Amino acid sequence: MKLTRSILLACAIGLSAGAAQPAAAQEEPFYHGKTVTILVGFGPGGGYDLFARLLSKHLPEHIPGAPTIVVENMGAAGGLPAANRVYAVAPKDGTVIASVNASLIVYDLVGGSAAEYDAKKLQWLGSGTNSNNSILTWHTSGVKTIEDAQKTEIPVGASGPASTSYIYPALANAVIGTKFKIINGYKGSNSLDLALESGEISGRSGANLNSLFARNADWVKDKKINFLVQIGYERDPALPDVPVLGELVSDPEDKQIVDLITLSTAFGYNYWVAPEVPADRVETLQKAFDETFADPDFVADAEKAGFEVRAQSGKDLQKRMSDVSNLSDKVIARTREILSIQ
């Protein structure tokens, strides 16, 4: 019986280890026969998840060795456990890719204590799409422009202090003196839309323009909503007359805070691997991401699902990171306050 048990044990270990055996032969590309995991820091069904699943279909053709790509979800706690896992626990051989909310980068840059990753050390592979965010009001709210919002208090719905629906209005209140009364507690973007339509709230933020245009095309067409301000580094071509928040801020410190918080919008659906992943494999993956984002098949598939591909290469993201990495203690303290990080 003892013997049988140890044989069983050996078999079982073999089974569980089988997925990650070392490369068989030298001449074959590393990714041949491998399984690459994209760990998504959101539950199934949302934008990050769907975009990753589209990628998993097209990315293999562009990686030498054509690995199988699977998408795993760890949606808890805003994706923090997913980011921690890819950085600290998962294999560092280039077979595990993180796709988590870019606001987690900001979270670490201002010293969020639950981050086990160092945002400055991540190796960036690229970003598939990004889209400006905005603060908008319902047409009956009486607040049509950002100037109105600086004079009149209106209820603005939000889904909690860690969500962009709270952070952007709070940021505007802090740096340009708007009078948004933020009401937390709505569950998810669509609940906010419903509350907006029923008149329970007068305004909201947190929805990126891309998905807003796809989901509520009639609101834009019938002028049901007013865009007060955009969150992003540049104005969206579709809203040439709506200022971005950064334009309205003159104080250099405030501007730094706005730029830092805007990062989470600008990075969009981003992908990175842990710092220990060998440079040649990072290069292989960076190239594969660039090629996939330029692949007409992928672009067509993404468009069908309502995503407009706006690629940023891994090197682009790397550069943006170095732009925001030098922060004074005061900027960090104020940003933490706006983000409600304790």
Q: How far is the CB of 108 from another protein (least distance, A)?
A: 14
**59, 63, 74, 106: which one binds another protein (CB under 8 A):** 74
By the rule CB under 8 A, 338 interacts with another protein: no
By the rule CB under 8 A, 142 interacts with another protein: no
By the rule CB under 8 A, 325 interacts with another protein: no
| Rounded Cα gap, residues 180 and 172, in angstroms | 8
CB neighbourhood size of 155 (10 A): 16
By the rule CB under 8 A, 183 interacts with another protein: yes
For another protein, which is the closer residue by CB, 79 or 314? 79
By the rule CB under 8 A, 201 interacts with another protein: yes
**153, 191, 238, 337: which one binds another protein (CB under 8 A):** 191
Q: Which residues contact 267 (CB under 8 A, 6 or more apart)?
A: 102, 105, 127, 130, 312, 317, 320
By the rule CB under 8 A, 6 interacts with another protein: no
Q: How far is the CB of 210 from another protein (least distance, A)?
A: 12
Q: Which stretch binds another protein (CB under 8 A): 99-107, 144-152, 196-204, 263-271?
A: 196-204
**15, 24, 25, 279: which one binds another protein (CB under 8 A):** 15
**3, 17, 24, 25: which one binds another protein (CB under 8 A):** 17
Q: How far is the CB of 99 from another protein (least distance, A)?
A: 13
State whether residue 91 is helix, strand or coil: coil
Footprint of another protein on 146-165 (CB under 8 A): 155, 159-162
Q: Which stretch binds another protein (CB under 8 A): 59-67, 213-221, 233-241, 251-259?
A: 213-221
By the rule CB under 8 A, 214 interacts with another protein: yes
Handedness of CA 222, 226, 232, 233 (dihedral sign): positive
Q: How far is the CB of 342 from another protein (least distance, A)?
A: 7
By the rule CB under 8 A, 53 interacts with another protein: yes
Q: What CA–CA distances, in Å, run from 173 to 18, 146, 336? A: 54, 11, 15
CB 114 within 8 A of CB 187: no
Kind of pairing between the strands at 203-205 and 154-158: parallel
How many residues lie near another protein (CB under 8 A)? 73
- Position 183, amino acid: I
| Rounded Cα gap, residues 163 and 217, in angstroms | 23
For another protein, which is the closer residue by CB, 50 or 119? 50
Footprint of another protein on 221-260 (CB under 8 A): none
Q: Which two tokens stand for residue 153?
A: 């208090």
CB 318 within 8 A of CB 221: no
By the rule CB under 8 A, 73 interacts with another protein: yes
CB 163 within 8 A of CB 206: yes
For another protein, which is the closer residue by CB, 50 or 257? 50
| Rounded Cα gap, residues 125 and 221, in angstroms | 37
Which runs of E-coded beta strand occur in the chain?
A: 35-40, 68-73, 96-99, 123-127, 133-138, 154-158, 180-184, 203-205, 225-231, 270-273, 312-313
**100, 136, 193, 262: which one binds another protein (CB under 8 A):** 193
By the rule CB under 8 A, 70 interacts with another protein: yes
